[in-house]
Amino acid sequence: MAELMLREAILQTLFSEMERDENVVVLGEDIVGGMGTDGGPEAIGGIWGTSTGLYDKFGGDRVIDTPISESAIIGAAGGLGLTGKRPVAEIMFADFLGVCMDQIWNQMAKFRYMFGGKTECPAVVRMIYGAGLNAAAQHSQAPHGILTSMPGLKVVMPSTPADAKGLLSTAIRDQDPVIFLEHKALYAEKGEVPEGDYTIPFGHARLAHAGEDVTIVAAGLMVKFATKAAKTLSEQGIGCDVIDLRTTSPLDEEAILDSVENTGRLVVVDESPPRCGLATDIVSLVTNKAYASLKAPPEMVTSPHTPVPFARELEKAYLPSPDKIADAVQRTLAWK
CA distance 274 to 77: 32
CA distance 195 to 126: 22
Residues sharing a CB contact under 8 Å with residue 220, sequence separation 6 or more, in sequence order: 129, 130, 142, 144, 157, 158, 159, 181, 183, 186, 271
DSSP calls for 215-246: EEEE-THHHHHHHHHHHHHHTTT--EEEEE-S
**CA-wise closest residue to 265 among 246, 243, 249, 245:** 243
Cβ atoms of 247 and 156 within 8 Å: the answer is yes
Residue type, 307: P
Cβ atoms of 268 and 283 within 8 Å: the answer is yes
CA distance 181 to 144: 8
Cβ atoms of 79 and 107 within 8 Å: the answer is no
Q: What beta strand segments (E) does 265-334 contain?
A: 266-270, 299-302
CA distance 197 to 165: 9
Q: Active site residue: 139, 144, 183, 209, which one?
A: 139
If phi > 0 it is left, if psi is from -120 to 50 it is alpha, else beta; for residue 201 that is: beta
Edge to edge, what strands does the sheet with 247-249 contain? 63-65, 24-28, 86-91, 124-129, 178-183, 154-156, 247-249
* Annotated catalytic residue 183: no
Residue type, 62: R
Which residues carry out catalysis? 139
